[in-house]
C-alpha cells in the first residue's frame, strides 16, 4: 500500500508541476529568424552555468569525503594507540582535541559556503530559465518537491550534512571530558 500511495502522490503531482515547467512568454517563434542566434547563445550559457553549478556540488562532495576520511583516520589512530590508557600530560590531549575541533569548524564553514554558493547559482539558473521554453530546475523541480515545505517529499542534503561536523566535534569533546574524568 505504501508504494502505491507514493505512486498516486507522484501522479497527482504531475498536474501540479506541469504548468511550472513551461515558460509562457517563450514560444517556438522566439527561436526563429533573428532571435535564433540569441536563443542559442542563452542556451549555451545555460548549459555552461548548469555544469558550473554541478561542479560546485561535486567539490562539496569531495570536501565531505576528505573530512570523513580524515576523521575516520583519527578514530582509527585513537583506537590503535589507546589500547592501554596512557598517563599523558593534559597538554598532549588538549592540543590534538583543539586541532580536531578547529578541523570540524573548518568543515562546517566550508559546507556552509558551498551551500550559499549553490543557492546563488540556482537563483541565476532560474533567471536564465526565464528566457528558455522550460524551467525544469528552478520552478518545476521545486514545485515537484513541495517547495521545501514537506520534509517527507524533500529534505535538503545540506540540512543533514551540516550536522556531521557537529557530531564529530561533540564526540571529540565528550572523549576529552572522559579522558579528564578518568
What is the domain count for the chain?
A: 1
Give me the mean pLDDT over the 23-29 stretch. 78
CA distance 59 to 44: 23
The string of pLDDT tens digits covering residues 103-150 is: 999 999 999 999 999 888 988 998 899 888 888 888 888 888 888 787
Q: Does residue 23 belong to any structural domain of this protein?
A: no
Domain around 154: 29-181
Q: Does residue 7 belong to any structural domain of this protein?
A: no
Q: Does residue 38 belong to any structural domain of this protein?
A: yes
Orientation of helix 163-181 relative to helix 90-129, angle to 10°: 170
Q: Does residue 20 belong to any structural domain of this protein?
A: no
Residue 73: name the closest of 98, 109, 100 by CA.
Answer: 100
pLDDT score of 28 more than 90: no
Name the strand (E) or helix (H) holding 58: helix 35-81
Q: Does residue 151 belong to any structural domain of this protein?
A: yes
Sequence-ordered list of residues with C-beta below 8 angstroms from that of 50, at least 6 positions apart, any chain? 125, 137
Q: Does residue 54 belong to any structural domain of this protein?
A: yes
CA distance 39 to 7: 37
The string of pLDDT tens digits covering residues 46-91 is: 999 999 999 999 999 999 999 999 999 988 887 777 666 656 666 6
Q: Which letter, b or e, does each residue of 34-54 get, where b requires 16 or more Cβ atoms within 10 Å of its Cβ?
A: eeeeebeebeeebeeebeebe
Q: Does residue 13 belong to any structural domain of this protein?
A: no
Q: Does residue 114 belong to any structural domain of this protein?
A: yes
Amino acid at each position: 500500500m505504501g508504494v502505491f500511495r507514493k505512486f498516486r502522490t507522484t501522479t497527482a503531482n504531475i498536474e501540479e508541476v506541469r504548468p511550472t515547467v513551461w515558460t509562457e512568454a517563450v514560444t517556438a517563434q522566439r527561436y526563429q529568424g533573428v532571435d535564433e542566434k540569441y536563443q542559442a547563445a542563452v542556451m549555451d550559457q545555460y548549459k555552461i552555468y548548469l555544469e558550473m553549478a554541478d561542479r560546485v556540488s561535486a567539490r562539496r562532495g569531495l570536501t565531505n569525503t576528505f573530512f570523513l576520511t580524515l576523521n575516520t583516520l583519527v578514530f582509527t589512530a585513537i583506537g590503535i594507540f589507546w589500547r592501554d590508557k596512557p598517563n599523558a600530560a593534559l597538554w598532549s590531549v588538549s592540543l590534538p582535541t583543539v586541532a580536531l575541533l578547529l578541523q570540524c569548524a573548518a568543515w562546517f564553514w566550508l559546507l556552509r559556503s558551498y551551500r550559499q554558493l549553490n543557492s546563488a547559482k540556482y537563483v541565476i539558473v532560474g533567471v536564465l530559465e526565464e528566457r528558455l521554453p522550460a524551467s525544469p530546475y528552478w520552478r518545476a523541480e521545486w514545485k515537484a518537491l513541495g517547495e521545501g515545505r514537506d520534509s517527507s517529499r524533500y529534505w535538503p542534503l545540506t540540512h543533514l550534512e551540516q550536522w556531521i561536523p557537529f557530531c564529530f566535534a561533540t564526540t571529540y569533546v565528550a572523549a576529552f571530558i572522559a579522558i579528564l574524568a578518568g
